[in-house]
A and B are shown apart, each in its own frame.
Chain A
Amino acid sequence: MSEYTANVKLNTTKKGLIVRLIKDGTVIDHIPPGKGIKIAELLNLFNQDSVVIIGQNLESTKYGKKDIIKVENRFLKSEEYNKISLIAPYATINIIKNYEIVEKKKVVIPDVLEDVALCNNANCISNKEPVPSKLYVISKEPLIVMCHYCGYEFSGENIRLKT
């Protein structure tokens, strides 16, 4: 993976090249530095054959530093957008077809997280029995969620995603 990282770093000096490295797939940009691996794990990118490139601590004009993920032949489902938004609320998703960006989307934290993340209350019915978790987003910045079942309210920093 180190050679991929080096590759990505080289290419960032020439704007845009980074994106064109894959033919068809997805580029997740503007991930907070250090969170790239976590998102790749979350999306299960390591258990597949296609090319995955994770860039860490790249220079970002907007945020200082950022991580970036590029994955070939993989397009995201809407619940995956939701999951990404919880870790990287400012991420941009670029959909690449034939080396071109055909769509650019920003992730949005949804108002309700349906079966995406766990309630932080260990005694909650949703952690004790086969019950779909449901969390209401009561604040997006900072991220604060509340459990539909037990009313427990907790900060996004402590959120654990369902795998």
Chain B
Amino acid sequence: MKGETLKDTIETVANYVDLIVLRHPYDGAARWAADVTTNRMKRGHKKVPIINGGDGKNEHPTQAMLDLYSIKKTQKRIDGLDIAIVGDLKYGRTVHSLAYALALYDCRIRFVAPEILQIPEHIEAYLKRRNVKYTKHSKIEEVISDVDIIYMTRIQKERFPDENEYNKVRGIFKLNRSMLSKAKTTMRVLHPLPRVDEISVDVDEDIRAYYFEQAGNGIPVRMALLSLILGGEENE
């Protein structure tokens, strides 16, 4: 991609394929790509859907779908749950998509992050408009005994515009097994992976650890998504 615009890449690749999964460093890239293929369709070409595989620090919707699936699978419901989201809520695109997705259900969200990494204002405004129940916290200990899901995220150095800002918050949240003693036994720990040090390895042995299975849930969820978009269910 030697300086080629995203528009040109999409205009080109759309001739080769039936569907494009796009991961891109800029926010809103997937929406723009979808506009490009829609305009292409208006010029008489076939439809080429775009799946957002993560755009900058904006969203990662297929991760949110597998997160919802994992929550439902472990808790048998989504409505009425108390869900903590921990870590980098400002730059974490999986968090943004999960917050938007949970806003469609009747659950309580606890955003746990240091002030500078709290959930972005525009997402908070969205949650307020939808009357979503949420609170903001600075410590995992404040919420761990109440929640049904604790969704850990890593603090990613590459998302920070400024290294000093990163150094102030790296390693600030660490979930270990002794902290889990205060949690419900039915509580489950989720993480979009890969982890760095925000979940210590002793948690892996606890019944509440679900992050590796969660990653596995990406397969059926993404298969279902491809099938829905490409009409695969007709071939069963």
Contacts and interface: CB of A to CB of B under 8 A. Distances in A.
- Same complex for A and B? Answer yes
Interface stretch (A69-77, A85-93, A141-149): A141-149
B57 interface: yes
A49 interface: no
B121 A150 contact: no
B122 A129 contact: no
Contacts of B126: 153
Given A123-B56, A131-B32, A152 B27 contact: yes
Contacts of A130: 5, 7
Contacts, number: 58
28 contacts: A121-B27, A121-B28, A123-B26, A124-B26, A124-B28, A125-B6, A125-B26, A125-B28, A125-B32, A126-B28, A128-B26, A129-B5, A129-B6, A129-B7, A129-B26, A129-B32, A130-B5, A131-B7, A131-B32, A147-B28, A149-B29, A150-B31, A151-B28, A151-B59, A152-B122, A153-B121, A153-B122, A153-B125
Nearest to B100: A151
Interface residues of A, number: 19
B63 interface: no
B214 interface: no
B118 interface: no
Contacts of B29: 125, 149
B153 interface: no
A154 interface: yes
Contacts of A147: 28
A101 to B, nearest CB: 42
A144 to B, nearest CB: 8
Interface of B: 5-7, 24-29, 31-32, 55-59, 121-122, 125-126
Complex A-B, nearest 9 residue pairs according to Cβ-Cβ distance, in ascending order: A149-B28, A150-B28, A153-B122, A150-B27, A125-B26, A125-B28, A149-B31, A125-B29, A125-B32
A126 B26 CA distance: 9
Contact of B27 (A124, A146, A153, A154): A124
B45 to A, nearest CB: 20
Contacts of A150: 27-28, 31, 55-56, 58
B159 to A, nearest CB: 10
A125 B27 CA distance: 6
A128 B56 CA distance: 12
A149 B7 contact: no
A124 B32 CA distance: 10
